[in-house]
Amino acid sequence: MTRPAGVRLRPTRLGTAFFGLVLLTLIGCINYSLSLGYGLTFLLGGVWIITAAQALRAVRLLGVTVLPPAQAAAGEKLAFTVQVQQLGPAGNVRVLARPTQGGVAGKPLQGSGVARPDELLHLSLPVPAPVRGPLHLTGVQVAAVDTLGLWHASLPAPDSEAVLVTPRAEANAPTPRTLKVTGTGDAVQRTRGHDEFAGVRAYQPGDSPRLISWKHVARTGTLLTREFDAPAGEGLNLDWNETAGAGTVEARVSRLAAWVAHAQQQRLPFSLNLPAFTLNTGQGEGQVRAALNALAQVRPLPQPSPDQEAEARRPFAPRQPDVLPVGALRFSFLALAFSLLPGLPQWPAWVWALLAGVLGYAALQVDPRRRLPHVPPLALLLSALLAGAGLNASFGTLLGQQAGTALLAVLLALKAAETRTYRDAKLLSLLGLFLLITHFFHSQGPVTAVQVVVASALLLSAAARWVNPATWAGPVWQGQAWRQVGRLMLLATPVAALLFSFFPRPDGPLWRLPLQQNRTGLSDEINAGEYSNLAKDNSVAFRADFGGGAVPPSAERYWRGPVYEEYDGVKWTQALRASFTFAPPSIETTRNAPPAYRYALTLEPSGKPWLLALESVTQVPPNSLITTGFQAATFRPAAQRTRYELQSQVARTGRREDPRRLELNLFLPAGQNPRATALAAPWRSLPPAERVRRASEYLARGGFTYTLDPPTLPQDNRIDAFLFGSRTGFCEHYASAFAFLLRSAGVPARVVGGYQGGELNPDGDYLIVRQQDAHAWTEVWLAGQGWVRVDPTALIAPARVTTNLGTALSQPNATTAQPRSAWQQLALRFDAFQNNWNNWVAGYDGEQQRTLLSRLGVSGVGSAPYMLALLVGVLLVLLPIFALVRRSARPGDPAQAALFDLSEKLKLPRQPGETASAYAQRAAQQYPALEKTLREIAERFNLLRYGPAAPPERLKELRHLIRQLRR
């Protein structure tokens, strides 16, 4: 992309704030590992880059002509007219200039509007003229603003021609001296008048068009003015010497100006005698203008007074209209409302009502016909305080994800209600974009991604409307702004994809905040109804991808979670001290053990440190460990969906166990459940394996049933109430009762929580484990064998292990699962898409990035090969983008497009307002050998552009000349 000489590109205030937003969201995404947040941030960054190129290309297609104003007197205002021609698509244009008079540069002037290719834009720049003398515009700059108003690209334009500011006429000036005006050539005294034709003379500036002899012009091509005369009469002799009594030079000039005005008013001829200038007797508009121009240049020229100079240098601040366009403001409110939608399921209902009420009232209030009052600032402040108090009461904190995002949404809605200026309206779009990033705390699924992208397009379209509301005036559904913003986002997508793939991703956060999780999942303890309530939740807990390898059968899909070893008669809890004080147990693999399972576990966020691994886990990812309870856990619980690589293998665990731990797993509170204790007491004389068998037989033959809605058990002796009373329950009831019986029989036993089963998705060849698959089972310790898993639930409902929960509830003894419905099959296909999305988009992290780089032959982030690959990627992405921008910036007019191609070929951009002939002359100075061809190109262009309708062959000849040109 060529850059015109003298071009100046800088971000606007909105563009600077936009870039700050991108940096802020990038820092947040790095800290909280928001993969989709990276994508949106880089998309916005790409938009920021593309709009810069857009502004650069747009400024090259502007033509500017500065038209000087009519003559004005000192102390008055005169208006320069800037004529802007747009050769490309319609866009926002600004013209900047500074008036200079008497060596003093005045305050900068600015004019703006929408330049369209089918019409000329006329911008008026009012200029104060404090004193007489030459005045002209200097430092003229033409600037193009991109669609979103993020960049301001300017180029220097030719300065204006000087305008002579005439002196101010003296008030109540004395009457000038009169004289007899005589004619020449006749005996009779005659003078210029309107009675008889006297002849023709050369045209002088200021002569009336009615006096031009058009017949002579047609015949000779020279402008001649007809003269008339009349009998001699009286005239005025305006002499410098006769103003000596006026005092200063300026006072004398002012008096002469008053006399000129008097002569014009009385229609009298006059002469003017100045120290270095004499104007012969005459009258009419030309005579008056010549006299005033001479008076404007009398030396010495005056300098502005200190007050006038200070006023001239005061910065110019264009005022925005007080009344905001109703349509543009409502469009912004609509975009904000749509951007709030993903957060609604996470917030209380009263927050929804507050947001709807505030935005709804604001949308109605902007219509002046309704005459609704503005919301007082005190009411807005009180609403914000009450909302903060309500959120703190609902969530217990304002730093959590739900509470923080809800508070941000409320503040944004209140900001919309108090919007009064264009600055506030533009700020709404930036705040809305920031809010969109926070939605990824709750979900990074494809539905959320689509909604966020559409909301971003809406917010950017709203920002485009505020750059120049006249550009996008009309109903919301008109698609012009949508097309512009959609095109920007489409061009920015390759930039976003490149940065998404290669931008370094740290493995840990920059800082930590006590973010509230409020996630469902396994609990730290087992109480009555804990697992049965969880089993009613159909959401995904995790997915396990075996990479095309062997998948364990359903009966072996035990995903180990927390181990509950301490029992107080009511609940089972984890023995955390055992991990630090007891000796680690042994893990032994047998020679004939089946091959290990290698799999990738994609865990949904739970806020818990445990990794749900198959029994028995033998290899864990970095920053993780295997506890003494044979549970996989991580040092860094992830707040977002995370992928872990694990390995499990059938093994003997705990054959060498700490005696203190075995003692802990025999403990029972005194005086609890006497009937169950009495039932197990006779088993103590049997071998340990036989005790386990007796307990299993009791449950299998005791008439127990499996249900999700068991009756409420009492606080005291609840095991007795279950075994000898209700005889109905869920997995936690059976695991707890079985462990109690074995401890009563003298066998160390504990309860293990986790998940059992998993639905194989044939479309993705991976297991889906849902919250409803949560399960609890028992482990018993047998000498010589170690810890052995016993699942008492399988004794009551074998289908729970061999099929799934739904089949087990309806057909406890079934061996095969119920066939899937068409809706379930469709849901599995969507889940396969969701799984791929999670693995390659939402779950893309530093480890996957390193894997990708290694496949590309790049050693690592920051290395020389990495920097080279990144540079090549940037070039491959940006070059097509700039080519597309260049193509769109090409003028639509065929002749102008040909001249544009010439400037691209010569690498010499046209200056704003530069004609084809002037451009050809300037280009010939740089390329003398091409002077003849360039002159011919300019002539053909002028004929095509300004001559009569030319046949298509002329345009082809012009294009052929340009194609054949060689530098």
Question: Does residue 730 register a pLDDT over 50?
Answer: yes
Question: Does residue 309 register a pLDDT over 70?
Answer: no
The least confident of 193-207, 223-237, 480-494, 797-811 is: 193-207
Question: Does residue 943 register a pLDDT over 90?
Answer: no
Burial-class residue 391 by CB neighbours within 10 Å (0-12, 13-18, 19+): buried
Q: Model confidence over 6-25: pLDDT tens digits?
A: 678 899 999 999 999 999 99
Burial-class residue 542 by CB neighbours within 10 Å (0-12, 13-18, 19+): buried
Q: Which residue has the tokens 């409110």?
A: 333
Q: What is the DSSP string of 422-479?
A: HHHHHHHHHHHHHHHHHGGGT--SHHHHHHHHHHHHHHHHHHHHHH-TTTT-S-TT-S
Domain segments of the chain as ranges: 61-166, 326-472, 525-822, 891-964
* Cα 267 from chain centre: 68
Mean pLDDT across 575-583:
71
d(CA 805, CA 774): 10
Q: Model confidence over 368-420: pLDDT tens digits?
A: 777 788 888 898 899 999 999 999 898 888 877 888 899 999 999 999 998 88
The SS3 assignment for 150 reads coil
Label residue 451 by pLDDT band (50, 70, 90). very high
Q: Which two tokens stand for residue 515?
A: 């973010």
Mean pLDDT across 902-915:
76
Residue 102, φ and ψ in degrees, nearest 5 = 60, 30
pLDDT for the residue 516:
46
pLDDT for the residue 913:
62
pLDDT for the residue 186:
36
User: Which of 691-700, 756-765, 893-902, 957-966 has the highest mean predicted lDDT (pLDDT)?
Assistant: 691-700
Nearest CA to 240 out of 286, 182, 294 is that of 294
Choose the catalytic residue: 731, 733, 773, 831: 731
d(CA 722, CA 228): 130
Question: Does residue 5 register a pLDDT over 60?
Answer: no
The least confident of 470-474, 703-707, 809-813 is: 470-474
Label residue 93 by pLDDT band (50, 70, 90). confident
CB of 105 within 8 A of CB of 135?
A: no
Q: Model confidence over 184-195: pLDDT tens digits?
A: 333 344 555 555
Q: Model confidence over 638-683: pLDDT tens digits?
A: 777 788 999 999 899 999 999 999 999 999 999 999 999 999 999 9
960 is catalytic: no
Label residue 345 by pLDDT band (50, 70, 90). confident
The SS3 assignment for 906 reads helix
Mean pLDDT across 489-497:
91
Tell me the CA distances in angstroms from 701 to 422, 640, 744, one per residue in order: 79, 45, 20
Measured from the Cβ of residue 321, the count of other Cβ atoms closer than 10 Å reads 9
Measured from the Cβ of residue 656, the count of other Cβ atoms closer than 10 Å reads 11
Interacting residues of 25 by C-beta distance below 8 A, sequence separation 6+: 37, 40, 41, 44, 433, 434, 437
Q: Which position has the higher pLDDT, 726 or 528?
A: 726
∠ Cα 796 799 801 (to 5°): 90
Q: What is the largest CA-CA distance in the chain?
A: 162
Residue 222, φ and ψ in degrees, nearest 5 = -115, 140
Q: Which position has the higher pLDDT, 165 or 2?
A: 165
Choose the catalytic residue: 545, 720, 791, 831: 791
pLDDT for the residue 74:
85
What residues are paired with 125 via a beta bridge? 80
Question: Does residue 941 register a pLDDT over 70?
Answer: yes
Label residue 904 by pLDDT band (50, 70, 90). confident
pLDDT, averaged across the chain: 83
* Cα 299 from chain centre: 60
User: What percent of the chain has pLDDT above 70?
Assistant: 87
Label residue 221 by pLDDT band (50, 70, 90). low
Label residue 593 by pLDDT band (50, 70, 90). confident
CB of 847 within 8 A of CB of 832?
A: no
CB of 558 within 8 A of CB of 772?
A: no
731 is catalytic: yes
pLDDT for the residue 218:
66
Label residue 348 by pLDDT band (50, 70, 90). very high
User: What percent of the chain has pLDDT above 90?
Assistant: 32
pLDDT for the residue 125:
85
pLDDT for the residue 23:
95
Domain 61-166 bears CATH identifier 2.60.40.10: yes
Q: Model confidence over 126-145: pLDDT tens digits?
A: 888 888 888 888 888 888 88
Question: Does residue 866 register a pLDDT over 50?
Answer: yes
Tell me the CA distances in angstroms from 690 to 551, 696, 742, 795, one per residue in order: 33, 10, 11, 16
Label residue 745 by pLDDT band (50, 70, 90). very high
d(CA 571, CA 528): 8
Q: Is 396 left (phi over 0), alpha (psi -120 to 50) or beta?
A: left
Question: Does residue 769 register a pLDDT over 90?
Answer: yes
Q: Which position has the higher pLDDT, 525 or 219?
A: 525
pLDDT for the residue 366:
83
Choose the catalytic residue: 136, 439, 733, 775: 775
pLDDT for the residue 183:
43
CB of 859 within 8 A of CB of 865?
A: yes
262 is catalytic: no
The SS3 assignment for 146 reads coil
Question: Does residue 313 register a pLDDT over 60?
Answer: no
How many helices and strands in the chain, by DSSP H and E?
30, 37
Q: Which two tokens stand for residue 172?
A: 């109540």
Q: Model confidence over 154-171: pLDDT tens digits?
A: 888 777 778 888 898 988
Question: Does residue 616 register a pLDDT over 80?
Answer: yes
pLDDT for the residue 144:
85
Mean pLDDT across 204-222:
69
Question: Does residue 691 register a pLDDT over 90?
Answer: yes
Q: Which position has the higher pLDDT, 159 or 967?
A: 159
CB of 530 within 8 A of CB of 732?
A: yes
pLDDT for the residue 97:
86
SS (H, E, C) 753-819: EEEECCEEECCCCEEEEEHHHEEEEEEEEECCCEEEEECHHHHHCCHHHHCCHHHHHHCCCCCCCCC
